């Protein structure tokens, strides 16, 4: 196997990992919206949302911090893959979406 094939496989793996991290963050965001719509107060929604997580993740700062870390890793990996001509446009789309999710998560801790 030559270096071109290895690099291509590496880029595909990076694209897969970063896609999974981004989808996890997106699903978490959608879950929050759905739960928030079903409750009358922010406090009730927050309690219901964090009851879905294991005990050690039931702190807003920790959960948001982990999500931000996943999104930063995703952006870094997507940026690496962006140099590939075939995967570059896909990576750019994911970089934009992931960056918007990152901004939402950073905004939520302000």
pLDDT digits (tens, 9 = 90+) for 1-12: 444 445 578 888
| 42-100 tens-digit pLDDT | 999 999 999 999 998 888 888 899 999 999 999 999 998 888 777 778 888 889 999 99
Alpha carbon distances (Å) from 16 to 23, 29, 31, 32, 35 = 10, 20, 22, 24, 28
> pLDDT-based confidence at 20, cuts 50/70/90?
very high
pLDDT value for 5 = 46
pLDDT value for 2 = 43
pLDDT value for 73 = 95
Q: Supply the range of the domain harboring residue 98.
A: 3-109
Please say whether the beta carbons of 81 and 18 come within 8 A: yes
Number of structural domains the chain divides into: 1
């Amino acid at each position: 196997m030559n270096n071109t094939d290895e690099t291509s496989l590496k880029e595909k793996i990076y694209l897969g990992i970063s896609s999974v991290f981004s989808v996890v963050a997106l699903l978490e965001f959608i879950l929050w919206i759905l739960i928030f719509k079903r409750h009358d107060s922010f406090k009730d929604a927050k309690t219901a949302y964090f009851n879905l997580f294991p005990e050690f993740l039931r702190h807003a700062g920790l959960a948001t911090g982990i999500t931000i870390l996943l999104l930063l890793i995703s952006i870094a990996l997507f940026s690496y893959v962006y140099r590939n001509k075939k995967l570059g446009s896909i990576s750019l789309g994911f970089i934009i979406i992931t960056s918007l999710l990152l901004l939402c998560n950073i905004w939520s801790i302000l």
